[in-house]
Amino acid sequence: MPHFLDIDRTDPQALRGMIDRARAMKMARNGAPKGVPDSEQPLAGRMVALIFEKPSTRTRVSFDVGIRQMGGQTMVLSGADMQLGHGETIADTARVMSRYVDLIMIRTYEEQTLLEMAEHATVPVINGLTNRTHPCQIMTDVMTYEEHRGPIAGRKVVWSGDGNNVFASFAHASRQFGFDLTFTGPQPLDPEPSLRDWITIERDPYKAVQGADLVVTDTWVSMHDPQSAKERRHNQLRGYRVDRDLMAQAKPDALFMHCLPAHRGDEVTSEVMDGPSSVVFDEAENRLHAQKAILRWCLDV
Ligand code: CP
Ligand code: NVA
């Protein structure tokens, strides 16, 4: 079953095919109004369930719009409103949902929920973010980098901040797409040990960013982190804020990315977010195009 669970679980050639198709589909739309259907309708007659156990703006809207542009239909479900949130097993939910829909996209807390859903579903399952990874976002980020600067292979990408779920998918992508990835952040917020063979760790953010082609950050407090950790994390991370001085250490044509939502003034200043290096809103747009290609790969259409 062609699930899209993680970048490290997907064949590099398939990943490359998705990025190339996403760019081709974006160009084919050529700025058409969002409600205009694509000329091809590969999802005609298909029904997709979008399940959210956590909040979302980009993932929810971009999947919904993308599926409709390709002729498919969607239902957006809150995990809390489903029996899934009230004791029905994930396996049983997966079996039942598979009788109704052609594909399941799920944003969930525990990675185990995603994996059990995939194990028991008889339709493809897409990871729309777990506590551990966010693969749709990083497919988008690779697409966005290449759109602006050409092949990402061999480039230096620097992550400044928390070694979180978005970072983990960057680490997977560094191996699959062949770029160098440096993590800079405080030791207590290091990425999980399984990722450390693939990355460089540099505690000094100014040293880390030297020669970077791309600088990336994310929120200091993720949706799965306890709010009680907020003050401690702010103290640990304030030296890793991406501001004009830090960006000045990168290459002159370096890009800045953030998956959003951003906390302006915390992990990034407005000057950088709205500055000439920033491609954050192209990233947000490209969620739509990248996920359309992921959906087509999963459904083989
Ligand atoms: N970047 C991202 O996944 O955003 P949402 O949480 O709004 O979906
Ligand atoms: N790391 C963030 C990403 C949000 C898209 C979170 O998990 O909350």
The per-residue pLDDT for 30 is 87
- The CATH number for 144's domain is 3.40.50.1370
Q: Is 132 a catalytic residue?
A: no
The kind and range of the H/E element at 48 are strand 47-52
- Tens-place pLDDT, residues 194-226: 999 999 999 999 999 999 999 999 999 999 999
Can you tell me the mean pLDDT for 286-300? 98
Name every protein residue with a CB atom under 6 angstroms from any ligand 2 atom. Answer: 129, 164-166, 218-219, 222-223, 259
**Residues 101 and 154 both lie in one domain:** no
Predicted confidence (pLDDT) at residue 87 exceeds the cutoff of 90: no
Can you tell me the mean pLDDT for 273-301? 98
Can you tell me the mean pLDDT for 267-279? 98
Phi, psi torsion values for 289, nearest 5 degrees: -70, -45
**Residues 170 and 276 both lie in one domain:** yes
Can you tell me the mean pLDDT for 86-113? 96
Closest residue by Cα to residue 104 from 171, 58, 53, 31: 53
The per-residue pLDDT for 85 is 75
Distance between CA 18 and CA 289 in Å, rounded?
10
Predicted confidence (pLDDT) at residue 84 exceeds the cutoff of 90: no
**Residues 261 and 227 both lie in one domain:** yes
248 assigned to some structural domain: yes
Predicted confidence (pLDDT) at residue 86 exceeds the cutoff of 90: no
Closest residue by Cα to residue 131 from 262, 222, 8: 222
**Residues 270 and 169 both lie in one domain:** yes
**Residues 125 and 167 both lie in one domain:** no
Tell me the whole-structure pTM to 2 decimals: 0.98
What atom in ligand 1 is closest to the CA of residue 136? 3
Q: Is 176 a catalytic residue?
A: no
Indicate the residue among 105, 132, 159 that finishes a domain. 132
**Residues 127 and 239 both lie in one domain:** no
What is the CB-side half-sphere exposure of residue 286 using CA atoms within 13 A? 30
Predicted confidence (pLDDT) at residue 73 exceeds the cutoff of 80: yes
Taking the CB of residue 244, how many other CB atoms lie within 10 A of it?
11
| Torsion over CA: 81, 86, 90, 94 (sign) | negative
Phi, psi torsion values for 238, nearest 5 degrees: -60, -25
- Tens-place pLDDT, residues 131-183: 999 999 999 999 999 999 999 999 999 999 999 999 999 999 999 999 999 99
Do residues 42 and 296 make contact, with C-beta atoms less than 8 angstroms apart? yes
Choose which residue among 138, 259, 281, 283 to substitute to test ligand 1 binding: the one with the highest number of ligand atoms within 8 A of its C-beta: 259
**Residues 215 and 87 both lie in one domain:** no
Residue with tokens 């506590």: 131
243 assigned to some structural domain: yes
Out of 69, 137, 236, 291, the active site residue is 137
Q: Is 249 a catalytic residue?
A: no
- Tens-place pLDDT, residues 1-41: 999 999 999 999 999 999 999 999 999 998 899 999 999 99
Distance between CA 67 and CA 141 in Å, rounded?
20
High-pLDDT (> 90) share of the chain, %: 96
**Residues 71 and 176 both lie in one domain:** no
Residue 107 among known ligand-binding residues: yes
CA dihedral 182, 185, 189, 191 (to 10 degrees): 0
Q: Which two tokens stand for residue 178?
A: 């062949």
In 101-229, which ranges are continuous DSSP H helix?
Answer: 111-120, 135-149, 165-177, 205-209
Which of the ligands is closest to the CA of residue 233? 2
What is the CB-side half-sphere exposure of residue 164 using CA atoms within 13 A? 23
* Alpha-carbon distances of 109 from 93, 112, 196, rounded to whole Å: 16, 9, 23
Task: Report the number of distinct structural domains present in the chain.
Answer: 2
**Residues 169 and 196 both lie in one domain:** yes
Out of 64, 141, 213, 218, the active site residue is 218
Q: Is 259 a catalytic residue?
A: yes
DSSP structural state of residue 97: H
High-pLDDT (> 70) share of the chain, %: 100
Enclosing domain of residue 115: 32-132
72 assigned to some structural domain: yes
Distance between CA 139 and CA 103 in Å, rounded?
19
DSSP bridge partners of 258: 217
In 6-89, which ranges are continuous DSSP H helix?
Answer: 12-29, 58-69
- Tens-place pLDDT, residues 165-174: 999 999 999 9
Give residue 156 CA to ligand 1 midpoint distance, Å.
25
Give residue 261 CA to ligand 1 midpoint distance, Å.
7
The per-residue pLDDT for 219 is 98
Give residue 154 CA to ligand 1 midpoint distance, Å.
28
Ligand 1 atom 3, closest CA: 59
Give residue 51 CA to ligand 1 midpoint distance, Å.
14
Distance between CA 106 and CA 85 in Å, rounded?
13
Do residues 133 and 165 make contact, with C-beta atoms less than 8 angstroms apart? yes
Tell me what the pLDDT averaged over the chain comes to: 97
Give residue 288 CA to ligand 1 midpoint distance, Å.
12
**Residues 122 and 161 both lie in one domain:** no
Distance between CA 256 and CA 273 in Å, rounded?
8
DSSP bridge partners of 150: none
Out of 3, 172, 287, 289, the active site residue is 287
Distance between CA 221 and CA 32 in Å, rounded?
37
Out of 120, 134, 289, 296, the active site residue is 134
- Tens-place pLDDT, residues 44-65: 999 999 999 999 999 999 999 9
Indicate the residue among 132, 151, 176 that finishes a domain. 132
